[in-house]
Amino acid sequence: MKLAIMGSGGDAPGMNPAIKRFVEYAKERGHEPYFIYDGLEGLIDGKIERASYKDVAGIIHRGGAIIGSSRSKRFYEKRYREQAYKNLQKQGIAGIVVLGGDGSFRALDVLSREFEIKFVGIPTTIDNDIYGTDYCIGVDTALNVIRDAVDKIRDTASTFSRAFVVETMGRECGYLAAVTALTSGAEVCVIPEVEFNIKAATRILKEEIENGRRYVLAIVAEGTKRTKGIAAWLEEDLDMETRITVLGHIQRGGNPTVKDRLIPFGFVVEAVNRLIEFKKNGVVTYKDGKYGFLDIETVTKNRYQIDPDILKLLNFLD
Catalytic sites, residue numbers: 127
CA distances 205 to 135, 188, 227, Å, are 34, 10, 18
Cβ atoms < 10 Å from Cβ of 210: 8
Contacts for 150 with CB less than 8 Å, ≥ 6 apart: 166, 180, 184, 186, 217, 219
Residue 265, sorted as left (phi over 0), alpha (psi -120 to 50) or beta, turns out to be alpha
Collapsing DSSP to helix, strand or coil, 200 comes out as helix
Neighbours of 265 (CB within 10 A): 18
* DSSP letter for each residue of 39-89: HHHHHHHT-EEE--HHHHTT-TT-SS-TT-----SGGGSHHHHHHHHHHHH
Distance from C-alpha of 143 to C-alpha of 5, rounded to nearest angstrom: 26
CA distances to 165, 166, 190, 224, 228 from 246, in Å = 8, 6, 14, 13, 11
Residue type, 63: G
CA distance 130 to 12: 14
Q: CB neighbours (10 Å) of residue 131?
A: 17
Euclidean distance between CA atoms 51 and 45, whole angstroms:
18
CA–CA distance, 124 with 15 (Å, rounded to integer): 8
